[in-house]
Structure 1
Amino acid sequence: MNISVVIPLLNEQDSLNELHDWIAKVMQSNHFSYEIIFIDDGSTDKSWKTIKQLSQKDSNIKGIRFLKNFGKSQALHAGFEKAQGDVVITMDADLQDNPEEIPELYNMIISEQYDMVSGWKKKRYDSVISKNLPSKLFNYAARKTSGVKLHDFNCGLKSYHKNVVKNIDVNGEMHRYIPVLAKNAGFTNIGEKVVQHQARKYGVTKFGMDRFIHGFLDLITIWFLSRFGRRPMHLFGALGVLMFAIGFAFAIYLGIDKLFLNPFGRLITQRPQFYISLVTMIIGTQFFVAGFLGEIILRTKQDKKRYLIKDQLNL
């Protein structure tokens, strides 16, 4: 099979028929063998009913329905597990991603041998204040932190070689950082393509300020995991040594001062340096304990399912 199109969605019933027809037209005109995997992430409208109807008239349609809303990352993870195509295309269900981009995204993986290609919505039709400016700030921070030189990390339209999606673990809300996850896994040939962005035709955006804040928190998380995820003691141990050394230096200073320089001065417990020494050595010890606990958890953790599937179609 040439292409798997993975589409996570939440309450997008109005756009699904049009999106399916558009994708099918592109695939058939380019003679691709394909599958379309819709992942219903706990929709409360008639999205799943629409997917069932589409699957009855088109055997290329496959569906996964979550028991409740588990998030876009979990939806992508489920889609990646089921995808059978040589190239996997992800896109949003709101018709803001253009299926006409699929052939070139496919060719960039097959012919130009990229591991993955990320779309870049250079011209956007979103609100400048609520989405465009925060997105630019977020992408700048992501580039500087991760070292992956992309303009638009959060674009839903991406293409992947099948080896990428089968070897990365998309969890939490890490769908924004799939290029970083791919790089950390060793897939470093990451390309970018300017793609057409379209104004939303149906429904309302799921983007809010909370997602903007969560994005930066996730950026810190992925920076930590990429550098110290397999060796937490390297970070916490270094901080522990630093804090303990500061505290111990103050303790030595107080001891020398009391014994040799000012034996009849104030009691050690009446000097602020005593409490600085005590607190920093305690914090240093806590950092060491955190490092040990991190190493123990890393060696004993068991993978746990992060979502529950209620129903499936053609899978």
Structure 2
Amino acid sequence: MSKLDISVVIPLYNEEESLPELVEWIKKVMDTHGYTYEIIMVNDGSTDRSWEIINQLAKENQHIKGLSFLRNYGKSAALNVGFREATGTVVITMDADLQDSPDEIPGLFKMIVEEGYDLVSGWKKKRYDPITKTIPSKLFNYTTRVMSGIKLHDFNCGLKAYKNKVVKTVEVNGEMHRYIPVIAKWEGFRKIGEKTVQHRARKYGMTKFGLERFIYGFLDLLSISFVTRFRKKPMHFFGTLGSLSFLAGFIMALYLIGEKLYYIHVLNQLPRRDIVEQPLFFLALVALIVGAQLFLAGFMAEMTSLNHPNRNDYHIEDRCGRAQTPELERT
């Protein structure tokens, strides 16, 4: 089977009102430009009629693949499974709430195919969000730019385009969907671009994310920064900290011993306080113990496999449309 031009991956949770309109809009764009395509809709454990509607849409449109999780795993899990299923030369992700415009698809496709980008991230330069969401978002994006070295304005934009080999290489777990550009860069995909895209006001329902996502986002940034630098060499991190701590404790211990010997052999008198009565002794002891523990943690991390074969396995409850006989299976 020849490869399709575009795979559109849509993770969704309780978006029953917007799905028919979104599918019709995508179909119109694809037909207008003559693209061969598939729409992969991943139902992330919705509690409304989303899965029922996806089933109906799949019967009406042969381009639709439907996947439904047994429960809500999160956006990262939905994207990871969608990436696994995608067969298009270009893979485009977008949210299901109609805030991402399918009219942006041709421009994103062109940047990947004609301009050679590995990944293109949307930038919602003009946003229709409250200030309680935009201000934390600006801070979050600034921090991510500084720590990752990737010059993007909107890391969390759901509208992105990828070469197929990018989505087959990266693995997204936990809440790391915000940092796919960072993961892709770590995997060796360096040509990362940005495109200003239209941001639309939410038409149906309400947002599924609260302010807590920015707290989780900061913690995820620390996690991904650590993983990208030390995943294959944890001893470099733990060993360095452990060695520095152990060295500091050893120097303090030598100082205390040297001080006692100085009093005894040079001044011919006992020190005013015994070694174990000085606060520096306890600091030295703690530094030595912590240093040894960090060093051992480094060895244990080196011996522990981070590539567990089941860490990205999710329980798919049902399939519909073309997803009933998946062409790609995880190896």
Aligned residue number for residue 172 of structure 2: 170
Residue segments in structure 2 that go unaligned for 5+ positions in a row: 324-331
**Residue pairs, 1:147-296, within 5 angstroms:** 147-261=149-263, 263-265=269-271, 266-296=273-303
| 3-state SS of 1:192 partner | strand
2:94 alignment partner AA: M
Aligned residue number for residue 8 of structure 2: 5
Deviation, 1:276, is 0.6
Q: Distance in 2 between matches of 1:81 and 1:308?
A: 14
Deviation, 1:112, is 0.5
Aligned residue number for residue 310 of structure 1: 317
Percent of aligned pairs with the same amino acid: 57
Q: Describe the shift of the 1:301–1:22 C-alpha distance in structure 2 as closer, same or farther (beyond 3 A).
A: closer
Residues 120 and 162 in structure 2, CA contact (< 8 A), matched pair in contact too: yes
Q: Distance in 2 between matches of 1:144 and 1:40?
A: 34
Question: Which aligned segments of 4 or more residues in structure 1 are displaced greater than 6 angstroms?
Answer: none
2:77 alignment partner AA: Q
Residues 91 and 162 in structure 2, CA contact (< 8 A), matched pair in contact too: yes
1:284 alignment partner AA: G
Aligned residue number for residue 136 of structure 1: 138
Q: Distance in 2 between matches of 1:108 and 1:124?
A: 23
Q: Describe the shift of the 1:30–1:140 C-alpha distance in structure 2 as closer, same or farther (beyond 3 A).
A: same
1:251 alignment partner AA: A
2:238 alignment partner AA: F
Q: Distance in 2 between matches of 1:97 and 1:25?
A: 15
Q: Distance in 2 between matches of 1:75 and 1:299?
A: 21
1:164 alignment partner AA: V
Deviation, 1:293, is 1.2
2:202 alignment partner AA: R
**Residue pairs, 1:109-128, within 5 angstroms:** 109-128=112-131
Aligned residue number for residue 92 of structure 2: 89
Q: Distance in 1 between matches of 2:276 and 2:40?
A: 68
Q: Describe the shift of the 1:71–1:276 C-alpha distance in structure 2 as closer, same or farther (beyond 3 A).
A: same
> Residue by residue, what CA displacement relative to the aligned partner does 1:42-82 show, whole Å, maximum 9, x if unpaired?
00000000000000010001100000000100100000000
Aligned residue number for residue 34 of structure 1: 37
Q: Distance in 2 between matches of 1:61 and 1:295?
A: 43
Q: Distance in 2 between matches of 1:302 and 1:191?
A: 31
Residues 230 and 298 in structure 1, CA contact (< 8 A), matched pair in contact too: no
Q: Distance in 1 between matches of 2:307 and 2:211?
A: 36
Q: Over the residues paired in the alignment, what is the CA RMSD in angstroms?
A: 1.1
Q: Distance in 1 between matches of 2:74 and 2:65?
A: 19
> Residue by residue, what CA displacement relative to the aligned partner does 1:180-237 show, whole Å, maximum 9, x if unpaired?
1111111100110000000000011012121110000000001101111110000100
Deviation, 1:302, is 4.1
| 3-state SS of 1:199 partner | coil
Moved more, 106-115 or 261-270: 261-270
Aligned residue number for residue 51 of structure 1: 54
Deviation, 1:291, is 0.6
Q: Describe the shift of the 1:301–1:49 C-alpha distance in structure 2 as closer, same or farther (beyond 3 A).
A: closer
Q: Distance in 1 between matches of 2:123 and 2:151?
A: 12
Aligned residue pair count: 314
1:282 alignment partner AA: I
Deviation, 1:288, is 0.7
